[in-house]
Amino acid sequence: MHFTRRAALLALSLSSFASLPALAADEPRYNLISLRAEASQEVARDLMIVTLYTEAQNSDPAKLAADITSTMNKALGQAKAVKEINLRQGSRNSYPIYDNKTQRITGWRERAELRLESSDFAALSKLTGELMQDLKMESMDFAIASSTRKASEDALLKEAIAAFKARAQLAADALGGKGYKIVSLNLNSNGYPQPFPRGAMMMMKPTAKEDAPALDVEAGKAQVSMNAEGMIEVLQ
């Protein structure tokens, strides 16, 4: 029983001691100020994305599929020969064609896509011009590459925090405080823009091979920002 009493007293003491930080955290705060700071920069759209496709129709679905496959295999072979290009096959769809009167199937139409990505605009422009002898262009977009996006976010995060601290110090000085303590801080990116289509703005520039034009392109830049929002306590 003596041991039990000591254990109970020890448990009570530990419980009381553990509650002290919680009580301290609940202490009232004064001179609280909400602040917001922002850092922004222009980031180059350094990734070019081109989507090409082939489309045909035939009354024989097997022959149609073989023709589409042959065209795509040729294009894939050309694209794989260029090391600077990342490629992947897009969607491939086949659907029947109906007679307007009888609603009977009179043929089949099939479409297949090829998506090309590269930070080497010259290489991709040249390849696109060559592939357009057999394929058609669905779209040309420009985006920010993943590595560029990460580097930009890291730099903006540091700048946003520095801007928040500068504004916090300014507020503390204005109130005649000795300093400040950050109570909370949230960092939010404004979101990096989606690929920007330039298909309608592209210019065709003849090369030595008139049947294989190159694309003269300008990707442009995107404005991105990082917001730092939080609360400080001015120390008196």
Q: Taking 50 as the threshold, does the pLDDT of residue 216 lie above it?
A: yes
11 pLDDT tier (thresholds 50, 70, 90): very low
Q: Residue 1: what pLDDT?
A: 46
Residues 6+ apart with CB under 8 A from 60: 108
Q: Measured in whole angstroms, how far is the alpha carbon of residue 178 from the centre of its chain?
A: 43
Q: What is the pLDDT of residues 51-94, one digit of tens each?
A: 999 999 999 999 999 999 999 999 999 999 999 899 988 899 99
28 pLDDT tier (thresholds 50, 70, 90): confident
Please, which residues bridge with residue 230 across strands?
35, 185
Residue predicted with more confidence, 27 or 104: 104
CB 96 within 8 A of CB 84: no
Q: Residue 56: what pLDDT?
A: 96
Q: CATH 3.30.110 spans which residues of the chain? A: 30-46+145-195+221-236
Only one residue has tokens 């035939």, namely 58
Q: What is the pLDDT of residues 199-215, one digit of tens each?
A: 433 434 444 445 545 55
10 pLDDT tier (thresholds 50, 70, 90): very low
Q: Taking 50 as the threshold, does the pLDDT of residue 12 lie above it?
A: no
Does domain 48-143 bear CATH number 1.10.3470.10? no
Q: Taking 90 as the threshold, does the pLDDT of residue 3 lie above it?
A: no
Residue whose C-alpha is closest to residue 52's, from 20, 29, 78, 83: 78
Q: Residue 29: what pLDDT?
A: 72
Task: Kindly report the pTM of this predicted structure.
Answer: 0.69
Q: What is the pLDDT of residues 121-175, one digit of tens each?
A: 999 999 999 999 999 999 999 999 989 999 999 999 999 999 999 999 999 999 9
Q: CATH 3.30.70.360 spans which residues of the chain? A: 48-143
Rounded alpha-carbon distances, angstroms, from residue 117 to 71, 89, 166, 167, 174: 20, 12, 41, 42, 52
DSSP the chain: -HHHHHHHHHHHHHHHHHHHHHHHHTS---SEEEEEEEEEEEEE--EEEEEEEEEEEES-HHHHHHHHHHHHHHHHHHHHT-TT-EEEEEEEEEEEEE-TTT--EEEEEEEEEEEEEES-HHHHHHHHHHHTTT-EEEEEEEE--HHHHHHHHHHHHHHHHHHHHHHHHHHHHHTT-SEEEEEEEEEEE--PPPPEE-GGG-EEE--SSTTSPEEE----EEEEEEEEEEEEEEE-
Q: Is the dihedral of CA 204, 45, 84, 114 positive or negative?
A: negative
Q: Under CATH, what is the fold of the domain 30-46+145-195+221-236? A: Translation Initiation Factor IF3 (3.30.110)
Q: What is the pLDDT of residues 162-198, one digit of tens each?
A: 999 999 999 999 999 999 999 999 999 876 666 656 5
